[in-house]
Amino acid sequence: MPPGDIRRPSPFVVFAGLSIDGRYGGAGKERSVTADALRRAGLTALYLGIFATIWFSVPKNEPPLGIVLVVGSVAALLAAGTGGALVFRSRAGGSFQRDVQGDRKYLVIFAGELAAAGFGAVLLAVSGHSEYIAVFVGAVVGAHFWPLAPVLRDPALRVLAVLVCLAALAGLITGLVSSSVLPGTVTGAGIAVLLLGYAMGALIRAGLALRSPAS
């Protein structure tokens, strides 16, 4: 393979920000692998940091949870901003080829997620159970990570899928047994923390990639 022929995953595939597939060659191998790791980790932190911020806004901002939600939202925004900076920095590593098949699979899963979440939310709203919308949407979000795992070559997404679904289940159980705590509070806070943790993990991986470049 010529030194300049560097195959890179799709921009959708790098969303997960995990394993490097090793299909690199030539004199620029070390630089290319490091740039790819930065791009993947940066996009993970950027996207999940933004979504974590959204989920932190689901629970009502009132004591004693209010200050925790504010701190979490700020941390998520910082993670997203740091991820964006990593993506910008990684551009020095060169271009990458699109994975058309991976793009299609990602878009199909993403479209299915939006359709299912939107349809379920409308049904819950018209049936007078709007307090469970966050629970249903959270379950759909968690479920969509499972088929994304092979598409994004990230087995850890299946762990995240299970944890997010458990957060939704916890919200459902809370709504059924408690009249003082809203199900959206439990679901929103739980999923927000999980997504923020995953985003922070991506930033840690980026730091390790910078300290120990691939050889």
Q: How far apart are CA 88 and CA 95, in angstroms?
A: 12
pLDDT score, position 99: 65
CB atoms within 10 A of CB 38: 26
Closest CA to 164 of 185, 134, 195, 133: 195
- C-beta separation of 94 from 35 below 8 A: yes
Residue among 157, 150, 144, 153 at smallest CA distance from 194? 157
pLDDT of amino acid 96: 55
Per residue of the chain (215 residues), give pLDDT as tens.
444 443 444 433 333 333 333 333 443 444 555 676 777 788 889 989 999 999 999 998 777 788 999 999 999 999 999 999 988 877 765 555 556 787 799 899 999 999 999 999 999 999 999 999 999 999 999 999 999 888 877 788 899 999 999 999 999 999 999 988 999 999 999 999 999 999 999 899 888 877 765 44
Percentages of the chain per state (helix, strand, coil), in multiples of 5: 75, 0, 25
Decide if 16 contacts 198 (C-beta within 8 A): no
8 Å CB contact between 55 and 164: no
Residue 102, both tokens: 């991976």
- Residue ranges with strand state E in 100-186: none
Residue 132: predicted pLDDT: 97
Buried b (16+ CB within 10 A) or exposed e, 51-62: bbbebbebbeee
Token pair for 152 = 């994004």
Domain locations along the chain: 13-211
C-alpha 62/C-alpha 94 separation (Å) is 47
The identity of residue 31, as a single letter, is R
